[in-house]
Amino acid sequence: MSRANNANGARVARSKGVPFSKNPVLAVRLPVWRSRVVLFVLFAAFAGLAARALWLQGLSTQFLQKQGEIRYARTLDLPATRGKITDRDGQVLASSVPVKAIWAIPDDVQEAPPEKLKALAKLLDMSDADLKKKLDSDRGFVYLKRQVEQDVADQITRLDIDGIQTRKEYKRFYPQGEVATHVVGFTNVEDAGQEAMELAQQKTLVGVPGSRRVIKDRLGHIVEDLESVREPHDGKDLTLSIDSKIQYIAFTQLKDAVEKFHAKAGAAVVLDVHTGEVLALANWPSYNPNDRSTLTGEQLRNRVMTDTFEPGSSLKPFTVGLALDTHRVTPYTKFDTGNGSYTIADKTIHDTHAHGVIDVQEIIQKSSNIGTSKIALSMPSQDMWEMFTKVGLGQQPKWGFPGAVAGRVRPYKSWRPIEQANMSFGQGISVSLIQLARAYMIYARNGDIIPLSFKKLSEPPVGTQIVSAKTAAEMRDMLEMVVLPGGTAVKAQVPGYRAGGKTGTAQKVINGRYSQSKYIGNFVGMVPMSNPRFIIAVMIDEPGGPVHVGGDVAGPAFSAVASNVLRAKNVTPDSTVTQIIIPENSEQETP
Protein backbone atom coordinates (compact mmCIF):
# COMPACT_ATOMS: atom_id res chain seq x y z
CA MET A 1 0.00 0.00 0.00
CA SER A 2 2.83 2.38 0.89
CA ARG A 3 4.60 1.82 -2.50
CA ALA A 4 1.43 2.60 -4.32
CA ASN A 5 0.95 5.76 -2.28
CA ASN A 6 4.51 6.92 -3.02
CA ALA A 7 4.10 6.28 -6.70
CA ASN A 8 0.84 8.22 -6.71
CA GLY A 9 2.58 11.02 -4.74
CA ALA A 10 5.34 11.20 -7.31
CA ARG A 11 2.89 11.43 -10.18
CA VAL A 12 0.98 14.14 -8.35
CA ALA A 13 4.20 16.07 -7.72
CA ARG A 14 5.21 15.90 -11.41
CA SER A 15 1.80 17.01 -12.43
CA LYS A 16 2.07 20.04 -10.18
CA GLY A 17 5.56 21.03 -11.46
CA VAL A 18 7.53 20.16 -8.27
CA PRO A 19 11.39 19.81 -8.89
CA PHE A 20 12.95 16.32 -8.78
CA SER A 21 15.21 17.17 -5.82
CA LYS A 22 12.13 17.89 -3.81
CA ASN A 23 10.71 14.51 -4.61
CA PRO A 24 9.41 12.96 -1.38
CA VAL A 25 11.19 9.69 -2.27
CA LEU A 26 14.56 11.49 -1.79
CA ALA A 27 13.65 13.10 1.42
CA VAL A 28 16.65 12.90 3.91
CA ARG A 29 15.73 11.14 7.03
CA LEU A 30 19.29 11.25 8.77
CA PRO A 31 20.75 14.21 10.66
CA VAL A 32 22.83 16.63 8.51
CA TRP A 33 25.85 16.58 10.91
CA ARG A 34 26.48 12.88 10.31
CA SER A 35 27.26 13.29 6.61
CA ARG A 36 29.59 16.16 7.47
CA VAL A 37 31.49 13.99 9.96
CA VAL A 38 31.96 11.24 7.35
CA LEU A 39 33.19 13.79 4.84
CA PHE A 40 35.69 15.19 7.37
CA VAL A 41 37.02 11.74 8.23
CA LEU A 42 37.59 10.90 4.57
CA PHE A 43 39.37 14.19 4.02
CA ALA A 44 41.60 13.66 7.07
CA ALA A 45 42.53 10.14 5.90
CA PHE A 46 43.53 11.33 2.45
CA ALA A 47 45.50 14.18 4.00
CA GLY A 48 47.34 11.71 6.28
CA LEU A 49 48.22 9.47 3.38
CA ALA A 50 49.45 12.43 1.36
CA ALA A 51 51.60 13.61 4.29
CA ARG A 52 53.04 10.12 4.81
CA ALA A 53 53.85 9.78 1.10
CA LEU A 54 55.53 13.19 1.16
CA TRP A 55 57.53 12.21 4.27
CA LEU A 56 58.74 8.89 2.90
CA GLN A 57 59.43 9.92 -0.68
CA GLY A 58 60.50 13.49 -0.23
CA LEU A 59 61.75 14.28 3.26
CA SER A 60 62.97 10.92 4.65
CA THR A 61 64.26 8.26 2.22
CA GLN A 62 66.44 6.31 4.68
CA PHE A 63 63.75 3.82 5.65
CA LEU A 64 62.88 2.85 2.07
CA GLN A 65 66.55 2.66 1.09
CA LYS A 66 67.27 0.42 4.07
CA GLN A 67 64.40 -1.89 3.21
CA GLY A 68 65.55 -2.05 -0.39
CA GLU A 69 69.10 -2.86 0.63
CA ILE A 70 67.91 -5.64 2.91
CA ARG A 71 66.24 -7.28 -0.07
CA TYR A 72 68.80 -6.68 -2.81
CA ALA A 73 72.07 -5.25 -1.50
CA ARG A 74 74.78 -7.62 -0.27
CA THR A 75 78.23 -7.25 1.24
CA LEU A 76 80.63 -9.59 -0.50
CA ASP A 77 83.74 -10.76 1.32
CA LEU A 78 86.92 -10.37 -0.69
CA PRO A 79 89.35 -12.99 0.63
CA ALA A 80 92.97 -12.01 1.16
CA THR A 81 95.64 -14.29 -0.25
CA ARG A 82 97.54 -16.11 2.48
CA GLY A 83 101.25 -15.42 2.43
CA LYS A 84 103.61 -17.96 0.90
CA ILE A 85 106.00 -20.03 2.98
CA THR A 86 109.42 -20.55 1.44
CA ASP A 87 112.64 -22.19 2.48
CA ARG A 88 115.81 -20.19 3.10
CA ASP A 89 116.62 -20.16 -0.65
CA GLY A 90 113.17 -19.04 -1.80
CA GLN A 91 111.80 -22.45 -2.77
CA VAL A 92 108.06 -22.53 -2.14
CA LEU A 93 106.92 -24.82 0.68
CA ALA A 94 103.31 -23.58 0.87
CA SER A 95 101.23 -21.36 -1.39
CA SER A 96 97.57 -20.52 -1.97
CA VAL A 97 95.83 -21.36 -5.24
CA PRO A 98 92.42 -19.90 -6.21
CA VAL A 99 89.48 -22.29 -5.98
CA LYS A 100 85.71 -21.91 -5.66
CA ALA A 101 83.12 -22.62 -3.01
CA ILE A 102 79.85 -23.93 -4.47
CA TRP A 103 76.76 -22.76 -2.61
CA ALA A 104 73.02 -22.76 -3.20
CA ILE A 105 69.74 -21.04 -2.41
CA PRO A 106 67.68 -24.22 -1.86
CA ASP A 107 64.27 -22.69 -2.70
CA ASP A 108 65.53 -21.54 -6.11
CA VAL A 109 67.11 -24.88 -6.99
CA GLN A 110 64.01 -27.00 -6.38
CA GLU A 111 62.65 -26.39 -9.87
CA ALA A 112 65.90 -27.36 -11.64
CA PRO A 113 65.66 -30.20 -14.19
CA PRO A 114 66.58 -33.61 -12.69
CA GLU A 115 69.24 -34.25 -15.33
CA LYS A 116 71.06 -31.04 -14.37
CA LEU A 117 70.97 -31.92 -10.67
CA LYS A 118 72.35 -35.36 -11.50
CA ALA A 119 75.20 -33.75 -13.46
CA LEU A 120 75.82 -31.35 -10.56
CA ALA A 121 76.09 -34.21 -8.07
CA LYS A 122 78.61 -35.98 -10.30
CA LEU A 123 80.78 -32.86 -10.63
CA LEU A 124 80.69 -32.38 -6.86
CA ASP A 125 81.65 -36.03 -6.36
CA MET A 126 78.48 -36.56 -4.32
CA SER A 127 75.65 -39.04 -4.51
CA ASP A 128 72.25 -37.85 -5.70
CA ALA A 129 70.87 -38.57 -2.23
CA ASP A 130 73.54 -36.44 -0.50
CA LEU A 131 72.91 -33.53 -2.84
CA LYS A 132 69.16 -33.78 -2.31
CA LYS A 133 69.67 -33.81 1.46
CA LYS A 134 71.63 -30.56 1.30
CA LEU A 135 69.10 -28.92 -1.00
CA ASP A 136 66.21 -29.92 1.28
CA SER A 137 67.58 -27.56 3.92
CA ASP A 138 65.18 -24.91 5.21
CA ARG A 139 67.97 -22.34 5.28
CA GLY A 140 68.29 -19.64 2.69
CA PHE A 141 71.96 -20.41 2.05
CA VAL A 142 73.87 -23.70 2.10
CA TYR A 143 77.38 -24.72 1.05
CA LEU A 144 77.42 -27.69 -1.29
CA LYS A 145 81.21 -28.07 -1.40
CA ARG A 146 84.25 -26.01 -0.50
CA GLN A 147 87.58 -25.65 -2.28
CA VAL A 148 86.43 -26.93 -5.67
CA GLU A 149 89.02 -26.79 -8.45
CA GLN A 150 88.56 -23.99 -10.96
CA ASP A 151 87.88 -26.23 -13.98
CA VAL A 152 85.17 -28.13 -12.09
CA ALA A 153 83.60 -24.86 -10.92
CA ASP A 154 83.51 -23.67 -14.55
CA GLN A 155 81.64 -26.81 -15.59
CA ILE A 156 79.13 -26.26 -12.77
CA THR A 157 78.60 -22.66 -13.90
CA ARG A 158 77.90 -23.86 -17.44
CA LEU A 159 75.03 -26.04 -16.13
CA ASP A 160 73.20 -22.73 -15.54
CA ILE A 161 71.11 -23.94 -12.61
CA ASP A 162 69.08 -21.22 -10.90
CA GLY A 163 70.17 -20.77 -7.28
CA ILE A 164 73.63 -22.37 -7.70
CA GLN A 165 76.40 -19.85 -7.12
CA THR A 166 80.18 -19.85 -6.73
CA ARG A 167 82.38 -17.88 -4.36
CA LYS A 168 86.10 -17.26 -4.70
CA GLU A 169 88.35 -18.69 -2.01
CA TYR A 170 91.82 -20.18 -1.69
CA LYS A 171 93.25 -23.63 -1.12
CA ARG A 172 96.69 -24.27 0.35
CA PHE A 173 99.11 -26.31 -1.74
CA TYR A 174 102.28 -27.92 -0.39
CA PRO A 175 104.81 -28.80 -3.14
CA GLN A 176 107.07 -30.79 -0.78
CA GLY A 177 104.21 -33.00 0.40
CA GLU A 178 105.13 -35.39 3.22
CA VAL A 179 108.79 -34.37 3.23
CA ALA A 180 108.37 -31.03 5.03
CA THR A 181 104.88 -31.26 6.48
CA HIS A 182 105.91 -31.47 10.14
CA VAL A 183 107.73 -28.16 9.96
CA VAL A 184 105.35 -26.34 7.57
CA GLY A 185 101.99 -27.66 8.85
CA PHE A 186 98.65 -27.16 7.07
CA THR A 187 95.47 -25.06 7.09
CA ASN A 188 91.79 -25.97 7.36
CA VAL A 189 89.01 -25.17 4.91
CA GLU A 190 88.70 -21.67 6.40
CA ASP A 191 92.38 -21.02 5.58
CA ALA A 192 93.38 -21.01 9.27
CA GLY A 193 96.67 -22.62 10.30
CA GLN A 194 96.31 -25.91 12.18
CA GLU A 195 99.83 -27.23 12.71
CA ALA A 196 103.50 -26.23 12.83
CA MET A 197 104.50 -22.88 11.26
CA GLU A 198 101.13 -22.42 9.54
CA LEU A 199 99.65 -22.24 13.05
CA ALA A 200 102.54 -20.43 14.76
CA GLN A 201 102.60 -17.63 12.15
CA GLN A 202 98.85 -17.42 11.54
CA LYS A 203 98.60 -13.68 12.20
CA THR A 204 101.45 -12.89 9.83
CA LEU A 205 100.34 -15.20 7.02
CA VAL A 206 96.57 -14.74 7.02
CA GLY A 207 96.24 -11.10 5.88
CA VAL A 208 93.08 -8.98 6.19
CA PRO A 209 90.03 -9.75 3.99
CA GLY A 210 88.21 -6.94 2.21
CA SER A 211 84.57 -6.39 1.23
CA ARG A 212 82.38 -4.77 -1.47
CA ARG A 213 78.73 -3.67 -1.60
CA VAL A 214 76.74 -4.98 -4.56
CA ILE A 215 73.11 -5.34 -5.65
CA LYS A 216 71.88 -8.82 -6.51
CA ASP A 217 68.70 -9.95 -8.22
CA ARG A 218 66.38 -12.66 -6.95
CA LEU A 219 68.59 -15.40 -8.40
CA GLY A 220 71.72 -14.10 -6.75
CA HIS A 221 73.25 -12.52 -9.86
CA ILE A 222 75.17 -9.28 -9.36
CA VAL A 223 73.43 -6.50 -11.28
CA GLU A 224 75.31 -3.51 -9.90
CA ASP A 225 78.64 -2.94 -8.11
CA LEU A 226 78.02 -0.18 -5.57
CA GLU A 227 81.26 0.50 -3.70
CA SER A 228 84.40 -0.90 -2.13
CA VAL A 229 84.01 -1.01 1.65
CA ARG A 230 87.52 -2.25 2.44
CA GLU A 231 90.34 -3.40 0.17
CA PRO A 232 91.86 -6.80 1.03
CA HIS A 233 95.44 -6.88 2.29
CA ASP A 234 97.32 -10.07 1.45
CA GLY A 235 99.28 -11.88 4.13
CA LYS A 236 103.03 -11.52 4.41
CA ASP A 237 105.35 -14.17 3.03
CA LEU A 238 107.35 -16.22 5.52
CA THR A 239 110.93 -17.37 4.93
CA LEU A 240 111.87 -20.36 7.05
CA SER A 241 115.32 -21.46 8.11
CA ILE A 242 114.69 -24.84 6.46
CA ASP A 243 116.95 -25.86 3.58
CA SER A 244 114.89 -27.99 1.17
CA LYS A 245 117.88 -30.06 0.06
CA ILE A 246 118.88 -30.89 3.62
CA GLN A 247 115.24 -31.51 4.56
CA TYR A 248 114.87 -34.04 1.76
CA ILE A 249 118.11 -35.77 2.73
CA ALA A 250 117.12 -36.02 6.40
CA PHE A 251 113.62 -37.26 5.57
CA THR A 252 114.64 -39.97 3.10
CA GLN A 253 117.50 -41.30 5.25
CA LEU A 254 115.28 -41.38 8.34
CA LYS A 255 112.54 -43.22 6.47
CA ASP A 256 115.06 -45.77 5.21
CA ALA A 257 116.40 -46.33 8.74
CA VAL A 258 112.92 -46.85 10.24
CA GLU A 259 112.02 -49.33 7.53
CA LYS A 260 115.38 -51.12 7.68
CA PHE A 261 115.15 -51.78 11.41
CA HIS A 262 111.37 -52.36 11.39
CA ALA A 263 110.97 -49.57 13.93
CA LYS A 264 107.77 -48.01 15.17
CA ALA A 265 108.86 -44.46 14.30
CA GLY A 266 111.80 -42.12 13.97
CA ALA A 267 112.84 -38.48 14.05
CA ALA A 268 115.77 -36.39 12.86
CA VAL A 269 116.85 -32.76 13.09
CA VAL A 270 119.72 -30.78 11.55
CA LEU A 271 120.93 -27.53 13.15
CA ASP A 272 123.27 -24.83 11.88
CA VAL A 273 126.02 -24.52 14.50
CA HIS A 274 126.85 -20.90 13.61
CA THR A 275 123.33 -19.41 13.62
CA GLY A 276 121.08 -21.83 15.52
CA GLU A 277 118.80 -22.12 12.48
CA VAL A 278 116.86 -25.36 12.07
CA LEU A 279 117.87 -26.62 8.63
CA ALA A 280 115.79 -29.80 8.67
CA LEU A 281 113.14 -31.41 10.86
CA ALA A 282 111.87 -34.82 9.79
CA ASN A 283 109.55 -37.46 11.22
CA TRP A 284 108.42 -40.88 10.11
CA PRO A 285 105.63 -41.86 9.77
CA SER A 286 104.54 -38.76 7.92
CA TYR A 287 101.54 -37.67 5.81
CA ASN A 288 100.69 -35.71 2.69
CA PRO A 289 99.14 -32.35 3.70
CA ASN A 290 97.52 -32.05 0.25
CA ASP A 291 95.37 -35.11 0.98
CA ARG A 292 94.55 -35.62 4.65
CA SER A 293 91.60 -37.96 4.12
CA THR A 294 93.44 -40.85 5.79
CA LEU A 295 95.45 -38.85 8.35
CA THR A 296 96.03 -40.58 11.69
CA GLY A 297 97.40 -39.39 15.01
CA GLU A 298 100.61 -41.39 14.57
CA GLN A 299 101.30 -39.61 11.28
CA LEU A 300 100.48 -36.21 12.74
CA ARG A 301 102.86 -36.47 15.72
CA ASN A 302 105.88 -34.23 15.46
CA ARG A 303 108.27 -36.46 17.42
CA VAL A 304 111.19 -34.05 17.11
CA MET A 305 109.28 -31.41 19.10
CA THR A 306 106.53 -33.07 21.10
CA ASP A 307 107.81 -36.52 22.14
CA THR A 308 110.04 -36.89 25.18
CA PHE A 309 112.26 -39.85 25.98
CA GLU A 310 115.10 -40.79 28.29
CA PRO A 311 118.25 -39.90 26.32
CA GLY A 312 120.45 -42.58 27.87
CA SER A 313 124.18 -42.32 27.27
CA SER A 314 123.91 -39.28 24.99
CA LEU A 315 123.59 -37.25 28.23
CA LYS A 316 126.99 -38.40 29.56
CA PRO A 317 128.98 -35.61 27.83
CA PHE A 318 127.21 -33.02 29.99
CA THR A 319 128.09 -34.77 33.25
CA VAL A 320 131.69 -35.19 32.13
CA GLY A 321 131.84 -31.69 30.64
CA LEU A 322 130.77 -30.18 33.97
CA ALA A 323 133.50 -32.12 35.82
CA LEU A 324 136.09 -30.95 33.30
CA ASP A 325 134.95 -27.33 33.48
CA THR A 326 135.05 -27.28 37.30
CA HIS A 327 138.53 -28.88 37.25
CA ARG A 328 137.41 -31.97 39.17
CA VAL A 329 138.85 -34.18 36.43
CA THR A 330 141.03 -33.98 33.31
CA PRO A 331 140.68 -36.09 30.19
CA TYR A 332 143.32 -38.40 31.65
CA THR A 333 141.97 -38.86 35.18
CA LYS A 334 141.65 -42.57 35.94
CA PHE A 335 138.61 -44.34 37.35
CA ASP A 336 138.27 -47.98 38.34
CA THR A 337 135.11 -49.39 36.79
CA GLY A 338 135.85 -52.84 38.23
CA ASN A 339 134.29 -55.92 36.71
CA GLY A 340 131.32 -54.10 35.17
CA SER A 341 129.11 -53.82 38.28
CA TYR A 342 128.83 -50.98 40.78
CA THR A 343 126.45 -50.98 43.74
CA ILE A 344 125.00 -47.80 45.25
CA ALA A 345 122.93 -48.50 48.39
CA ASP A 346 120.79 -51.44 47.29
CA LYS A 347 120.92 -50.75 43.52
CA THR A 348 123.50 -52.01 41.04
CA ILE A 349 124.73 -50.19 37.92
CA HIS A 350 126.16 -52.23 35.04
CA ASP A 351 128.46 -51.78 32.05
CA THR A 352 128.29 -54.00 28.97
CA HIS A 353 131.91 -55.05 29.53
CA ALA A 354 134.37 -55.10 32.41
CA HIS A 355 136.61 -52.15 31.47
CA GLY A 356 138.69 -52.08 34.64
CA VAL A 357 140.72 -48.89 35.14
CA ILE A 358 140.05 -46.36 32.37
CA ASP A 359 140.48 -42.60 32.02
CA VAL A 360 137.78 -39.98 31.36
CA GLN A 361 138.32 -40.11 27.58
CA GLU A 362 137.64 -43.83 27.58
CA ILE A 363 134.59 -43.40 29.82
CA ILE A 364 133.03 -41.38 26.98
CA GLN A 365 134.45 -43.54 24.19
CA LYS A 366 133.27 -46.81 25.70
CA SER A 367 130.15 -45.28 27.29
CA SER A 368 130.78 -46.50 30.81
CA ASN A 369 127.84 -46.06 33.15
CA ILE A 370 130.01 -46.85 36.16
CA GLY A 371 132.69 -44.32 35.27
CA THR A 372 130.10 -41.60 34.60
CA SER A 373 128.34 -42.37 37.91
CA LYS A 374 131.57 -42.04 39.87
CA ILE A 375 132.28 -38.68 38.22
CA ALA A 376 128.72 -37.50 38.99
CA LEU A 377 128.88 -38.49 42.65
CA SER A 378 132.03 -36.39 43.07
CA MET A 379 129.95 -33.26 42.36
CA PRO A 380 127.05 -31.53 44.16
CA SER A 381 123.67 -32.46 42.70
CA GLN A 382 122.86 -28.76 42.38
CA ASP A 383 125.77 -28.27 39.97
CA MET A 384 124.50 -31.06 37.72
CA TRP A 385 120.95 -29.69 37.83
CA GLU A 386 122.20 -26.22 36.88
CA MET A 387 124.24 -27.67 34.00
CA PHE A 388 121.20 -29.49 32.60
CA THR A 389 118.91 -26.47 32.89
CA LYS A 390 121.47 -24.05 31.43
CA VAL A 391 121.58 -26.05 28.20
CA GLY A 392 117.76 -26.00 28.09
CA LEU A 393 116.78 -29.41 29.44
CA GLY A 394 113.59 -29.34 31.48
CA GLN A 395 112.91 -25.76 30.33
CA GLN A 396 109.95 -24.63 28.23
CA PRO A 397 111.24 -23.88 24.72
CA LYS A 398 110.78 -20.35 23.37
CA TRP A 399 111.19 -21.07 19.69
CA GLY A 400 107.72 -20.02 18.54
CA PHE A 401 106.83 -23.55 17.51
CA PRO A 402 103.48 -24.98 18.70
CA GLY A 403 103.56 -28.13 20.77
CA ALA A 404 107.23 -27.93 21.80
CA VAL A 405 107.61 -29.64 25.17
CA ALA A 406 109.84 -28.87 28.13
CA GLY A 407 110.84 -32.39 29.14
CA ARG A 408 111.52 -33.11 32.80
CA VAL A 409 114.44 -32.61 35.16
CA ARG A 410 113.44 -33.16 38.76
CA PRO A 411 114.55 -30.63 41.44
CA TYR A 412 118.03 -31.50 42.70
CA LYS A 413 117.03 -31.34 46.38
CA SER A 414 115.11 -34.61 46.02
CA TRP A 415 117.92 -36.54 44.32
CA ARG A 416 119.23 -39.61 46.15
CA PRO A 417 122.75 -40.83 45.26
CA ILE A 418 121.41 -43.60 43.01
CA GLU A 419 119.14 -41.08 41.25
CA GLN A 420 122.03 -38.69 40.71
CA ALA A 421 124.05 -41.55 39.24
CA ASN A 422 121.18 -42.59 36.96
CA MET A 423 120.67 -39.05 35.71
CA SER A 424 124.36 -38.74 34.90
CA PHE A 425 123.91 -41.34 32.16
CA GLY A 426 120.44 -40.27 31.03
CA GLN A 427 117.94 -42.24 33.11
CA GLY A 428 115.22 -40.58 35.18
CA ILE A 429 115.29 -37.50 32.96
CA SER A 430 113.25 -36.79 29.81
CA VAL A 431 114.09 -34.61 26.82
CA SER A 432 112.89 -33.96 23.29
CA LEU A 433 115.21 -34.68 20.37
CA ILE A 434 115.54 -31.02 19.42
CA GLN A 435 116.39 -30.07 23.02
CA LEU A 436 119.14 -32.67 23.06
CA ALA A 437 120.51 -31.50 19.71
CA ARG A 438 120.59 -27.88 20.86
CA ALA A 439 122.37 -28.81 24.10
CA TYR A 440 125.29 -30.20 22.05
CA MET A 441 125.91 -26.71 20.71
CA ILE A 442 128.08 -25.92 23.71
CA TYR A 443 130.59 -28.46 22.38
CA ALA A 444 130.16 -27.72 18.66
CA ARG A 445 130.75 -24.05 19.46
CA ASN A 446 133.30 -22.64 21.89
CA GLY A 447 131.33 -23.44 25.02
CA ASP A 448 128.37 -21.12 24.44
CA ILE A 449 124.78 -21.79 23.43
CA ILE A 450 122.45 -19.79 21.17
CA PRO A 451 118.67 -19.80 20.64
CA LEU A 452 117.15 -21.88 17.87
CA SER A 453 115.23 -20.27 15.03
CA PHE A 454 112.73 -21.62 12.51
CA LYS A 455 112.97 -18.39 10.53
CA LYS A 456 115.89 -17.41 8.34
CA LEU A 457 118.16 -15.02 10.23
CA SER A 458 120.01 -12.06 8.80
CA GLU A 459 122.72 -12.23 11.46
CA PRO A 460 123.72 -14.81 14.11
CA PRO A 461 122.41 -14.34 17.65
CA VAL A 462 124.54 -13.65 20.72
CA GLY A 463 125.43 -16.76 22.73
CA THR A 464 125.42 -17.49 26.45
CA GLN A 465 128.62 -19.02 27.79
CA ILE A 466 128.08 -22.35 29.57
CA VAL A 467 131.55 -23.95 29.69
CA SER A 468 134.99 -22.68 28.70
CA ALA A 469 136.33 -22.94 25.17
CA LYS A 470 139.02 -25.29 26.53
CA THR A 471 136.40 -27.66 27.94
CA ALA A 472 134.49 -27.58 24.64
CA ALA A 473 137.65 -28.48 22.70
CA GLU A 474 138.46 -31.36 25.09
CA MET A 475 134.92 -32.72 24.75
CA ARG A 476 135.11 -32.54 20.94
CA ASP A 477 138.20 -34.73 21.05
CA MET A 478 136.36 -37.27 23.21
CA LEU A 479 133.27 -37.22 21.01
CA GLU A 480 135.42 -37.88 17.97
CA MET A 481 136.87 -40.95 19.71
CA VAL A 482 133.32 -42.36 20.01
CA VAL A 483 133.05 -42.90 16.23
CA LEU A 484 136.56 -44.28 15.81
CA PRO A 485 137.50 -47.95 16.30
CA GLY A 486 137.09 -48.76 19.96
CA GLY A 487 134.10 -46.45 20.32
CA THR A 488 130.37 -47.22 20.47
CA ALA A 489 129.47 -45.50 17.18
CA VAL A 490 131.88 -46.68 14.52
CA LYS A 491 128.93 -46.91 12.12
CA ALA A 492 128.51 -43.14 12.43
CA GLN A 493 131.81 -42.43 10.64
CA VAL A 494 131.56 -40.19 7.58
CA PRO A 495 133.90 -40.95 4.64
CA GLY A 496 136.18 -37.99 3.93
CA TYR A 497 135.17 -36.06 7.04
CA ARG A 498 135.94 -36.12 10.73
CA ALA A 499 132.80 -36.70 12.78
CA GLY A 500 132.00 -36.92 16.46
CA GLY A 501 129.03 -37.51 18.73
CA LYS A 502 127.49 -39.74 21.32
CA THR A 503 125.20 -42.72 21.22
CA GLY A 504 122.26 -43.24 23.51
CA THR A 505 120.09 -46.30 24.19
CA ALA A 506 117.27 -46.19 26.69
CA GLN A 507 114.70 -48.73 27.79
CA LYS A 508 111.17 -47.41 27.28
CA VAL A 509 109.04 -46.93 30.36
CA ILE A 510 105.86 -49.02 30.04
CA ASN A 511 103.27 -48.73 32.84
CA GLY A 512 105.87 -47.30 35.21
CA ARG A 513 108.48 -50.01 34.57
CA TYR A 514 111.48 -50.24 32.28
CA SER A 515 110.70 -52.54 29.37
CA GLN A 516 113.12 -55.38 28.62
CA SER A 517 112.17 -55.49 24.94
CA LYS A 518 111.36 -51.94 23.81
CA TYR A 519 114.12 -49.38 23.33
CA ILE A 520 114.81 -45.95 21.90
CA GLY A 521 118.16 -45.60 20.15
CA ASN A 522 119.61 -42.17 19.40
CA PHE A 523 122.76 -40.51 18.19
CA VAL A 524 123.69 -36.83 18.38
CA GLY A 525 126.75 -35.74 16.45
CA MET A 526 128.53 -32.90 14.70
CA VAL A 527 130.49 -32.49 11.45
CA PRO A 528 133.13 -31.65 10.40
CA MET A 529 135.07 -31.85 13.65
CA SER A 530 137.84 -29.53 12.45
CA ASN A 531 135.27 -26.71 12.40
CA PRO A 532 131.77 -27.98 13.30
CA ARG A 533 129.08 -26.63 11.03
CA PHE A 534 126.14 -29.00 11.51
CA ILE A 535 124.61 -30.80 14.47
CA ILE A 536 122.59 -33.84 13.43
CA ALA A 537 120.42 -35.79 15.85
CA VAL A 538 118.59 -39.04 14.99
CA MET A 539 116.15 -41.02 17.15
CA ILE A 540 114.78 -44.49 16.29
CA ASP A 541 111.76 -45.58 18.34
CA GLU A 542 111.29 -49.29 19.09
CA PRO A 543 113.58 -50.89 16.51
CA GLY A 544 112.57 -54.49 15.86
CA GLY A 545 114.82 -57.52 15.97
CA PRO A 546 118.04 -58.03 17.92
CA VAL A 547 119.65 -54.74 16.86
CA HIS A 548 118.43 -51.88 19.04
CA VAL A 549 121.34 -49.82 20.42
CA GLY A 550 121.83 -46.24 19.27
CA GLY A 551 125.18 -46.83 17.60
CA ASP A 552 123.69 -49.53 15.35
CA VAL A 553 120.27 -48.05 14.49
CA ALA A 554 120.79 -44.27 14.67
CA GLY A 555 124.53 -44.08 13.94
CA PRO A 556 124.27 -45.22 10.28
CA ALA A 557 121.41 -42.77 9.65
CA PHE A 558 123.57 -39.96 11.08
CA SER A 559 126.41 -40.99 8.77
CA ALA A 560 124.17 -41.05 5.69
CA VAL A 561 122.59 -37.67 6.50
CA ALA A 562 125.95 -36.06 7.32
CA SER A 563 127.67 -37.43 4.21
CA ASN A 564 124.96 -36.15 1.86
CA VAL A 565 124.57 -32.79 3.61
CA LEU A 566 128.31 -32.03 3.59
CA ARG A 567 128.57 -32.77 -0.09
CA ALA A 568 125.36 -30.92 -0.96
CA LYS A 569 126.71 -27.80 0.78
CA ASN A 570 130.20 -28.20 -0.73
CA VAL A 571 131.97 -28.43 2.62
CA THR A 572 135.68 -29.13 2.18
CA PRO A 573 136.67 -32.62 3.41
CA ASP A 574 138.89 -32.60 6.52
CA SER A 575 139.91 -36.27 6.56
CA THR A 576 141.91 -38.50 4.24
CA VAL A 577 139.95 -41.57 5.34
CA THR A 578 137.51 -42.45 2.59
CA GLN A 579 137.07 -46.19 3.24
CA ILE A 580 135.30 -46.93 6.52
CA ILE A 581 136.01 -50.31 8.10
CA ILE A 582 133.62 -51.46 10.80
CA PRO A 583 135.22 -53.82 13.36
CA GLU A 584 133.25 -57.01 13.93
CA ASN A 585 133.26 -56.64 17.73
CA SER A 586 132.64 -52.93 18.20
CA GLU A 587 131.80 -51.43 21.58
CA GLN A 588 128.14 -50.87 22.57
CA GLU A 589 126.75 -48.55 25.19
CA THR A 590 124.78 -49.91 28.12
CA PRO A 591 121.00 -49.30 28.07
Helix (H) or strand (E) holding 561: helix 555-568
Q: Are 391 and 449 in contact, with CB atoms under 8 Å apart?
A: yes
> Across the chain, how many H-helices and E-strands are there?
23, 19
Q: Residue by residue, what is the 3-state secondary structure of 317-359?
A: HHHHHHHHHCCCCCCCCEEECCCCEEEECCEEEECCCCCCEEE
Kindly tell me the burial class for residue 399, based on how many C-beta atoms sit within 10 Å of its own C-beta (0-12, 13-18, 19 or more). middle
Which residue, 546, 476, 568, 525, is CA-closest to 252? 568
Provide the 8-state DSSP code for 69: H
Helix (H) or strand (E) holding 132: helix 128-135
Cite the active site residues.
Answer: 313
Provide the 8-state DSSP code for 57: I
Q: How far apart (Å, rounded) are the C-alpha atoms in residues 408 and 202?
A: 29
Q: Which amino acid makes up residue 302?
A: N
Q: Is the peptide bond before 317 cis (omega within 30 degrees of 0)?
A: no
* CA distance readout (Å), 199 to 71, 175, 243, 486: 39, 18, 20, 46
Q: Are 223 and 534 in contact, with CB atoms under 8 Å apart?
A: no
Three-state secondary structure call for residue 142: strand
Q: Are 476 and 324 in contact, with CB atoms under 8 Å apart?
A: no
Which residue, 476, 463, 465, is CA-closest to 364? 476
Helix (H) or strand (E) holding 230: strand 222-230
* CA distance readout (Å), 587 to 162, 305, 312, 351, 383: 77, 30, 16, 11, 30
Q: Is the peptide bond before 495 cis (omega within 30 degrees of 0)?
A: no
The two beta strands, 238-239 and 85-86, are parallel
Query: What is the chain's Cα-based Rg?
Result: 41
Report the 10 Å Cβ neighbour count for 263: 22
How far, in whole angstroms, is CA 136 from its chain's centroid? Answer: 37
